[in-house]
Chains A and B, each alone.
Chain A
Amino acid sequence: MTIDYVASMGNFAFRYVSHSDPVSIIQLMDEEEIDFALVSSLESIMYRNVQKGNELLAERISKHRDRLIPAAVINPIYPEAVEDTLCCLENLGMKAIRLYPNYHGYDPTDSGVASVVSVAQERTIPVSIAFRVEDERQRHWLVNPPPVSADTVLSLIKAFPEVHFVLERASYNELNRLIRSAPEVENWSAETSGRFLSDLRQILDAIGSDRVLLGTDMPLQYSKVAILRLESLDRASREKITMLNAARLLKL
Chain B
Amino acid sequence: MATAKDLRTLGDREVVALAKAGREAAYRELLSRYERPVFSLIYRMVRDRALAEDLAQETFIKVLNALDTYRPEFKFSSWIFKIANNAAIDQLRKREVDTLSLDGAPGARTADEVEATALQAVDRGESPLAELESRELGAEIERAIGRLRPEYRTAILLRHVEGRAYEEIAEVMDLPLGTVKTYIHRARLELREYLTHLRT
A joins B in a complex? no
